[in-house]
Amino acid sequence: MVDRVTEYAQKVVNREIFTGELHRLACERHLRNLEVQNTKEFPYYWDIAKSERILEYAETLTIGEGFEKKPVQLLGFQIFDMGCLFGWYNQKGKRRFRRSYESMARQNSKTFKNGIRGTYIAGFSGYYYGKLFTAATKKRQARLAWEEMSKFIQSDEDLAGEDISSEKDGMFAVKDYKSTIIANQTHCTIEALSKESGLDDGFRAIYASVDEYHQHKTNQIYKALYNGTKSLPETLISIITTRGDKINTPCYELDNYCQNILRGIAIAEDFFVDIYTLDKNDDIWDPKNLIKANPYLAANEDTLNVLITDMQTAKDMGGNEQRDFIVKSLNMWLNNADDLFIDAEKWKECETSKTLENMRGKICYAGIDLSSGGDLTTISLEFPLDSEKFYIYSHSFMPKGRLEEHIITDIAPYDLWENDNLITITGGNSEYKNDYKFIISHLKEIIEAYDLKLKAIGYDPHNADGFLSDLEEFGVPLLQVTQSARFLNDATVDMRLNIKSKKIEYDKQNELLSWSFSNAKVVANSFGEIKVDKEPKAKTKRIDPVDACIDAHVAYMKLGKEESVDIDKEMENYLQMMNWKKRIEVKN
């Protein structure tokens, strides 16, 4: 059987098809998954027949809009996005992907694809009495995907029958006045919902299309829909959007998280991601790059020419016209992250297979970031290595009473990270504050287990009262790390440069640490001195592990210089130098 999804992915990865990096990473992810399918580490498998089934269904549909009807003809990127979503399964025979995020420039078939998915799941997935929704902040926006489904049905005699309003004729009945579609054989319903019309928790959706996520001021709609799916064996919350001009939004946060999934920094096997946009150093005025963000429009000569005309207009006019073109036609965040603490690719290059076992018996410096309540608390160890590199170890803590809340608000798999021993969940279900005794216990345990030579501890003085006496038990210098740009500048700059020059090493399995570094930004004071911070409104983008790493680096820079000097070696060099000096004097 022909596997069109894999064939397309191979062509993209082999550079036979010109695409942007992020879409290529999505294709690489698919091919990489194929190599490890049905293993203990990756308990999913690829079913070509089921992937082809939705593609064949799509190609039986008719596009009714326009001067005349025409059959659906899928392009390569559409084949990949739809076939990949419906071809991966878990060991129980249910679809692997429960969430998807797809971003591309406007009018490139985002809603078109969701229209196909919705009618397919409602009528042909084998699920009975299921609820499907198209959702947005406004009812008008929510109806776009719903109307796409309605058009597919009304344009097809088999789907609609003779009377599209009748529940007896055809496979579907369209109730336009109710914004509801009924699948007659499965009794599934498709309904357009919006926040203004009462969208809240409690919806058990086997499918939901969340349209233009960049317009959402909060993630409440996404949360309401996703929270209702936990008891379902199979679901799909499909988020489709073009990027926006505001970065203090849930869409910007989710977009960054999804980029991390594609880059391998974050692992979310249930999340399908595909992003079509220009690359970092691309010339935004070069017409050849348009197809990276416009895989549909730029594939047709007529619509490509329209794009090129719009490009020239935006370039000539500047101002709002240019802003709109960059965001809507190139799918680029207008305020792109020049203030990110690290480059994700540079951080990825620092990963290693080394663990604490490789640091046995070595000197280290500790950094501790203490949360004020039930948020993330982290301890970090920095190991100076002989090769002028540093290995960093990180472990976090969170009270159990906050776990479920933060999994949802942070869009972060803390429960999975607990299974991977990256975080310790403390206390019982009713515990909402961190117990710092767990940090002391953890530090003592790893020092003893790996015979570590702890030399100093850098700590954030915030919330440290009553904790210092416990730290004093380690018998090493304690350094109060003032959380100001003036105090942190040197360590922050040095850490950043070390990452750029690959002088930092970390365990590649520590996804929590990588996620935290991807969230970190830098802020500067009036003197140009910098420190790490997060977006003011992005309270859920945790950077506590980064803060702890920098606290440890401060301790090393301020207290560890003399420790980094080998006295015996320096004395040997001195005596050798004096010996040579005496020989020269004798010769003279």
> Does the pLDDT at position 574 exceed 50?
no
Contact 434, 425 (CB under 8 A): no
Q: Burial level of 176, CB count in 10 A (0-12/13-18/19+)?
A: middle
CA distance 220 to 237: 14
* Averaged confidence pLDDT in the chain: 86
**Could you tell me the pLDDT band of residue 539, with boundaries at 50, 70 and 90?**
low
> Does the pLDDT at position 564 exceed 50?
no
- Structure tokens that stand for 432 in this block: 């909402």
Average pLDDT over residues 567-578: 51
Average pLDDT over residues 189-203: 71
Share of the chain above pLDDT 90, in %: 52
DSSP 8-state assignment for residue 460: -
Closest CA to 521 of 347, 344, 341: 341
**Could you tell me the pLDDT band of residue 572, with boundaries at 50, 70 and 90?**
low
CA distance 522 to 489: 10
Share of the chain above pLDDT 70, in %: 89
> Does the pLDDT at position 411 exceed 90?
no
Closest CA to 186 of 118, 233, 238, 236: 118
- Structure tokens that stand for 525 in this block: 């004071």
What pairs with residue 101 in β-bridges?
239, 273
Residues 86-120 pLDDT 10s: 999 999 999 999 999 999 999 998 999 999 999 99
> Helix 76-87 crosses helix 21-36 at what angle (to 10 degrees)?
40
- Structure tokens that stand for 17 in this block: 């098809």
Helix (H, G, I), strand (E, B) or coil at 516: helix
Helix (H, G, I), strand (E, B) or coil at 274: strand
Domains of the chain: 4-276 (3.40.50.300), 280-336 (no CATH), 344-559 (3.30.420.240)
Q: What is the pLDDT of residue 563?
A: 47
CA distance 473 to 461: 17
Average pLDDT over residues 334-354: 78
Average pLDDT over residues 250-257: 88
Q: What angle do CA 293, 271, 114 make, to 5 degrees?
A: 55
> Does the pLDDT at position 552 exceed 90?
yes
For the ranges 10-24, 139-153, 246-260, 574-588, the one whose mean pLDDT is highest: 10-24
> Does the pLDDT at position 566 exceed 50?
no
Average pLDDT over residues 224-240: 89
For the ranges 45-49, 141-145, 208-212, 251-255, the one whose mean pLDDT is highest: 45-49
> Does the pLDDT at position 331 exceed 80?
yes
Going through 160-263 in order, the beta strands assigned E by DSSP cover 172-175, 180-183, 189-194, 205-211, 237-241
Q: What is the pLDDT of residue 570?
A: 46
Q: What is the pLDDT of residue 348?
A: 86
Q: Burial level of 345, CB count in 10 A (0-12/13-18/19+)?
A: exposed
Contact 76, 8 (CB under 8 A): yes
The two most distant CA atoms of the chain are separated, in Å, by 115
